[in-house]
Structure 1
Amino acid sequence: MERIASDTLNLWQEEGSRLIPQNFEVFRNLVAQARDFVQRGEYHAAAVYAEIAALYATEQHCGLFVSPELEQILLTIGRQTIPIDVTLNKNFSCNKAPRNILHVSTAVMGIGGHSRMLWRWIGQDTERSHSLVLTRQGLHEVPKFLKDAVNNSQGRIYVLDKSIGNLVSWAKRLCEIAASADLVVLHIWSYDVIPTIAFANREQSPPIVFVDYGDHCFWQGVSISDVVANLRESGMHLSQERRGIASDRTAILPIILNPIQRMLSRAEAKRQLGFAEDSIVLLSIARSLKYRTIDGVSFADAHVPLLEKYDRAILIVIGPVDPEEWSAAIQRSQGRIKVFGQREDTAVFYQAADIYVDSFPFVSITSLLEAGSYGTPLVSRYPYSHASKILSADAPGLTDKLILARNLPEYTTVLSRLVEDEEFRLSLGEATRQTIIERHVGSHWQRYLEDVYCRATTVPGLTVTSLPTTDRMFVGEPDVFLQKVFSSRDIEIEEIIQSRLRLMPLKQRFYSWVELVKQHGFGRLNVLLPEWFYWHYYRRLQKWSISIKK
């Protein structure tokens, strides 16, 4: 199996080396189209094509993690469409602790790391007022827990795309809202161009912190961010080395966790789940896309040797929605691989676990942290070199305690020791719990946050000369692996363009739709509706019509 892993990585490298230049060329063409629109003064269309370019670079890695050329286009749009307003507060105080925080997110959901981090941040930082702007919430309901957190902090929630408008007009509105804030925190998705346009005139913007959730992929916002808050050290190093962010503008901000209280002993939790008290439970929880089969070896297959060796061992996996391809492994393990779909009631599973095994090939850091908080030892697979550290599950509180296995034989050996050696298993689990608490919970986490606030309000202002100016493609590690590890499928540029048709000006929307029809046959007419109308009227009408028919 070690040989297979080595051959696989070589194939990934070859494929990545071939695809990156092709993707980079497509990206360059999209950037050129956005630039052409800017030069013609068609800023609305330019913003849409800038978003298409950013989304493409996120989905199809182009050998770069930031595009200075794309950011300059967005800055130009902002400066041309949002003139400096002397009535806005331009005396944002330096060397003074911020009191009014404005969080900006693309969208928030009931599940997902962005929303949970934001909710816990507001709940922990109780000495400040926190408001929230959502740039593209669509039809999604703002979760009640977030509404309550913002209200309790005396803040407000603004949903930009509820109003008639487009990317540029929503950016103007964001700029206006931010005028009363002491500091802005960006929790945005990688392709969201609205904040970069909104804060192009830095002299009338508050200090800005960018939270680097997607540190493994392309994102934009470097040109407006005073400080980039990295969730882990590998992300911070990549920010400095590949995004050109100065070291004094980067900081570590661990993922915040709620204090975890064990309500059940492992034996009690196992009984509730119907397992014997002396069973050894291995647990893994992640979204289904993180468990892709590699070289015909599924996540379940990787555990069969261990399960065949120890008849008391059980593997529970929460997340995969279609376990059909795991059926052979489940059969070989006499049904001791238990697969569940995505669910929120995971506490009893965490409390039953003796060992936590990370998803593969896409790691799940939040799940590792939550499992470790219960005093469970953690194991993750990492077959790459140090140059690809961004692909690992490193994080404050994990780096020294997480066991990394380089290949499947080593993985089985590591798990075997944990199964056999109860004293080692328990002591490692308790040490892991302690280091996680010291970095991710309560006042411990608050110290990291205060450092981020302090940096953002004291670091010298951004200048054009402090930023890179041209896009440079890189073909090497980790870039050559990113497409295989993080993307479940190739996405055609036409698909991305069609997903953004509703954002385009009417003339450009119709022209692009006609071009797509010529290439692919008749297209859906509802993509010709503007996005604000589609989400808030057309989709609601559809839902109402369906409910009437029922």
Structure 2
Amino acid sequence: MHSRRELLSRTIANAQRFERICFELAAIKAPSKKMKAIEVAAHFANGTGAGVYRSRELEAALSELAKMIASPIDPGKTDRSGVLHVMSTAFPWGGHTRVVERWIDLDGEKRSQSVVLTEQGTQPVPKLLNDVVTNAGGAIHRLRDKKSIETRAEELKSIALGYAFIVLHIHMHDIVPSLAFGLPSFPVPVIFYNHADHRFSVGMEVAHAVAETRSWGRALTGARRGIPNSKRLGIPLSIKETGSSTDQGFSRDQLSIPKEAKIAIASASQYKFQPFLDLNFFETVKKLLRRNNRIWVLLVGVSETFCRQQLIAAGCDAYDLQRVIPIRACDEAQFKSYLKAADVALDTLPENGCTAAMDYISNGLPVVSRKTFIGQMDYLIDQPEYVRTDDEFIDQVLGLMDANNDHKITAARQFENLNNDCRSEVFLGRLDDLYTSATVKNPVGLADGNLFHGFSDLDLFHTHRTTLI
């Protein structure tokens, strides 16, 4: 594992390289080549730690290129209606697409909802996304990947002009919306949903409103992106999530887990489990297993090879390894069967799982989370299970597994907090305010030229992730 000094040195080098990349853009004259170079630059800034979360240079170049994107005839349309959700790619797993599905499901009772996909390629569109869009009276548009960036931007612009609102749920490198909506005269209000609030992104400059998932992201957007008035929208609960209780024994036999065992579960994409400096999920698991030999751990979303390597590196023995079961990413029904077998949920380290925590709590599982530089969702920050140290984390987990402790009381308290912050009426109220705000504001515009405030652990973390590729 790299030391803090090594990561800082690499981060400084990354920042210098990104500056050079931006400087060299001016020498590229061919529009198609410049678009590709900007996309590559955005990939670089998003994929590593460079101390930047927006770039004035990239946004200015995109703004100039947007002038050449053809506009369809639009004689002051007055019949625009519905919401167009712009996604780069829709996935069958993970939280990103689930958020869009829930948004459409809830808001679809008021407004028609459609989706356009800029980078889906030949990947199938998830069935649930198809279903909620159909139920909301909308359509799914797929831009053809083999077309040039410019052509895709023109197609997106043409589609978008028929809607009352546009919401960007895009990947952080996706420049197609910036090109399509980059002129100040573009007539449809654009909302940027900042789903990756801790990462660099393009696209905010064309938005009339920036929506955040949490207060932590709103603070970062103010400090590191120069946007002081973003709005906290949150992540909506699914209508079907009603705080159902757990059902012990549902899948223990098929996983060969003893009936007397206590089960902890953690779920996330594999990269969220990668150790960083003193934040090592697998060392925490080892301590937990050593403190109570009846505990078994389900890790959903990781490979067996990765899990075994990390556990051995953390000093786990054969008995420890036997009690940690890695499970590949699975569909929602299978995932919920694992939740029904568990007693407590472990939030991931160093990067927490926002929608996963909602799934835990909504299914009657209390979750324990560790305070880190990446922050947490608002519904958990005032809970006693949100702790500072490894020892406090383990004590909380063991306490919830204690036979004398009714963990359902903790689960009910956490669900009440979650429900108060994320239930449909609350989300829809914030959403109506967001739509109104977007109609009366000018676009955010280009980033300020002086947004660098030194390097933090967040920047080092992004660099660390790059070294693992």
The offset of 1:267, in angstroms, is 2.5
Q: 2:393 maps to what in 1?
A: 411
- 1:72 deviates by 0.7
Residue number in structure 2 paired with 1:118:
100
Residues 17 and 475, structure 1, Cα contact 8 Å, conserved in 2: no
Q: 2:327 is matched by which residue type in structure 1?
A: F
Taking the aligned partners of 1:92 and 1:16, their CA distance within structure 2 comes to: 54
Counterpart in the other structure of 1:157? 140
Paired residue for 1:319? Answer: 301
Q: CA deviation at 1:431?
A: 0.5
User: Structure 2 matches for 1:484-495, cutoff 5 A?
Assistant: 487=465, 489=467
Distance (Å, rounded) in 2 between the aligned partners of 1:302 and 1:425: 21
What's 2:74 paired with?
88
Of the structure 1 ranges 51-60 and 444-453, higher mean CA displacement relative to structure 2 is found in 444-453
Aligned with residue 470 of structure 1, among 437, 442, 449: 449
Equivalent of 1:455 in 431, 434, 437: 437
From 103, 122, 126, give the equivalent of 1:143: 126
The percent of aligned pairs where both chains have the same amino acid is 22
Cα distance in 2 for residues equivalent to 1:374 and 1:144: 22
**Number of residue pairs the alignment of both structures matches:** 460
Q: Given the alignment of the two structures, is residue 73 of structure 1 paired with residue 67 of structure 2, yes or no?
A: no
User: How far off its partner does 1:356 sit?
Assistant: 0.8
Equivalent residues in 2 for 1:231-246, closer than 5 Å: 231-246=213-228
The letter of the residue matching 2:330 is: R
Q: List aligned pairs for 1:260-275, cutoff 5 A.
A: 260=241, 265-269=246-250, 275=257
How far off is 1:336 after superposition? 2.3
Check conservation: 1:211, 1:228, Cα contact below 8 A. yes
Provide the secondary structure at the position in 1 that maps to 2:396.
helix
Contact 1:30–1:52 under 8 Å retained in 2: no
Q: 1:371–1:463: structure 2 CA closer, same or farther, 3 Å change rule?
A: closer
Contact persistence 1:21–1:62 (CA under 8 A): yes
Q: Aligned pair 1:17/2:12, yes or no?
A: no
Separation of aligned partners in 2, 1:202 and 1:178:
15
| Shift, 1:423, TM fit | 3.4
Change (3 A) 1:180 1:226: same
Distance of 2:290 and 2:281 partners within structure 1 = 15
Aligned equivalent of 1:398: 380
| 1:353-368 superposed matches below 5 A | 353-368=342-357
Per-residue deviation, 1:47: 0.7
TM-score (normalised: structure 2): 0.89
Q: Deviations over 1:448-483 (max 9, x none)?
A: 22222222123x21375xx43425444232444322
1:371 aligns with 2:360: yes
Contact 1:69 1:469 in 2 (8 A): no
Considering fraction of residues, name the structure with more helix.
1
Instruction: Quote the Cα distance in structure 1 between the aligned partners of 2:186 and 2:243.
Output: 48
- TM-score when scaled to structure 1? 0.77
The answer to whether 1:285 aligns with 2:259 is no
* Structure 2 spans left out of the alignment, 5+ residues: none
Question: For residue 63 of structure 1, what is the aligned residue in structure 2?
Answer: 51
Q: Residues of 1 paired with 2:89 and 2:277: CA distance?
A: 36
Change (3 A) 1:283 1:89: farther
Q: In 2, are the aligned partners of 1:24 and 1:473 still within 8 Å (CA)?
A: no
Give the CA deviation at 1:295.
Answer: 6.6
Does structure 1 residue 445 correspond to structure 2 residue 423? no
Change (3 A) 1:264 1:232: closer
In structure 2, give the amino acid aligned to 1:253: G
Aligned to 2:460: 481
User: Compared with structure 1, are the counterparts of its residues 380 and 145 closer, same or farther at alpha carbon in structure 2 (3 Å cutoff)?
Assistant: same
User: RMSD between aligned alpha carbons?
Assistant: 2.7
Question: Matched residues in 1 for 2:268 and 2:458: separation?
Answer: 23
Deviations 1:76-115 (A, max 9, x none): 0001x12666x3154679xxxx841111111112122222
Q: Which has the larger radius of gyration?
A: 1
In the alignment, which residue of structure 1 is the partner of 2:407?
425
Aligned 1:202-217 pairs, distance under 5 A:
202-217=184-199
State the Cα deviation string for residues 12-32 of structure 1 (Å, max 9, x = none): 2x2343222211222122222
Task: Kindly provide the CA deviation profile for residues 358-408 of structure 1, in whole angstroms up to 9, marking residues without a partner as x.
Answer: 1122221111111011232211233x4xxx3xx13x113222226233333
Match of 2:82 in 1: 100
Aligned-pair CA distance for 1:181: 0.8
- Which of structure 1's runs of 4+ aligned residues deviate more than 6 A? none
The residue type paired with residue 59 of structure 2 is E
